[in-house]
Amino acid sequence: GSMAHNYYLYESKGKLNVVPWDYNLAFGGMHGNDATAMVNDPIDESYSSTDFFDAFLEQETYKNQYHASYKKLVEYFESGTFENHYQRIRNQIDELVETDPNAMYTYEEYLAGAETLYQTMLLRAESVKGQLNGTIPSTKEGQQSENANLIDASSIDLSVMGVMNMGGPRGERFEKNEGQQPQEFTPPTAEDRQNFSFDEQQAPPFSQNGEANFPDFFQGQEQETSSDFFGLILSGVILVAGFLFVCLYKRKHY
């Protein structure tokens, strides 16, 4: 996918381990606005745009292991373990969030996000269970043709759990002006446009034919870097020559 770089891989004892990031956008917050589609996301097409995932599911052994991992997740919810962990964490951090002097969200936003996350996870677990037992299709094509048993999540507002936007200092959110000009913006007058002249020294870094058009400043840096590099090589040659001279020089005996 276009965001396939959003994770790290590290090898340990012959196995690759995934360290993902952007957890705050893991629940439809990145360009997503359909909660029902997110909750019912087909488990057999989670990464269908990648050759690795497609080849992975073609192997029946690996596909069964993949589904077995999902079954463990469903058991995590059905056993009450998720409920216990959720309540334990809420008891630990609620007061800390409320009194945090550097909070990026209001306490009310935190409460709404936490409750929405809780409900979303329960609905997602219900959908995954249905996809595993066959009552809900596990592919997009199947869900489009048979949508009667899809889990309804229309009451969920995904934006409450975080969205992808531009944040300012202390987490201030970027709000679009919906076509309105900023208050400090002053449009150019007719006289300004007449007096406008283009300065070639301020040309963009790439010309119209796509060739690089970097300022002389960067070219000077490249020349200086090349000079330093050759100077370093020359110093190394002199050092090696001196070392060989000391090792091979034989003093005359009188």
Alpha helices in 18-159 (DSSP H): 35-39, 51-58, 60-78, 81-98, 107-133, 140-145
Residue 250's pLDDT is 58
pLDDT of residue 32: 63
Question: Sorting pLDDT into bands at 50, 70 and 90, what band is 200?
Answer: very low
Q: What is the pLDDT of residues 23-71, one digit of tens each?
A: 767 777 666 678 999 999 999 987 766 788 888 888 999 999 999 999 9
Copy the structure tokens of residue 168: 């300012």
Listed in sequence order, the residues at least 6 apart from 32 whose beta carbon sits closer than 8 Å to its beta carbon are 38, 158
- Which pLDDT belongs to residue 48? 64
pTM of the model: 0.60
Task: Please name which of 88, 93, 84 lies closest in space to residue 111, comparing C-alpha atoms.
Answer: 93
* pLDDT greater than 60 at residue 139: yes
Q: In this predicted model, which residue has the larger pLDDT, 211 or 93?
A: 93
The yes-or-no verdict on residue 198 having pLDDT over 70 is no
Give the model's pLDDT for residue 251. 57
pLDDT over 80 (residue 121):
yes
Cβ-Cβ contacts under 8 Å for 200 (sequence gap 6 or more): none
Task: Evaluate if residue 171 carries a pLDDT over 50.
Answer: no
The candidate with the shortest Cα–Cα distance to 67, out of 101, 44, 90, is 44
Q: What is the spatial distance between Cα 157 and Cα 117, in angstroms, rounded to a whole number?
A: 10
What would the pLDDT profile of 140-153 be if each residue is shown by its tens digit? 999 999 999 999 99
Q: What is the domain partition of the chain in residue ranges?
A: 7-171
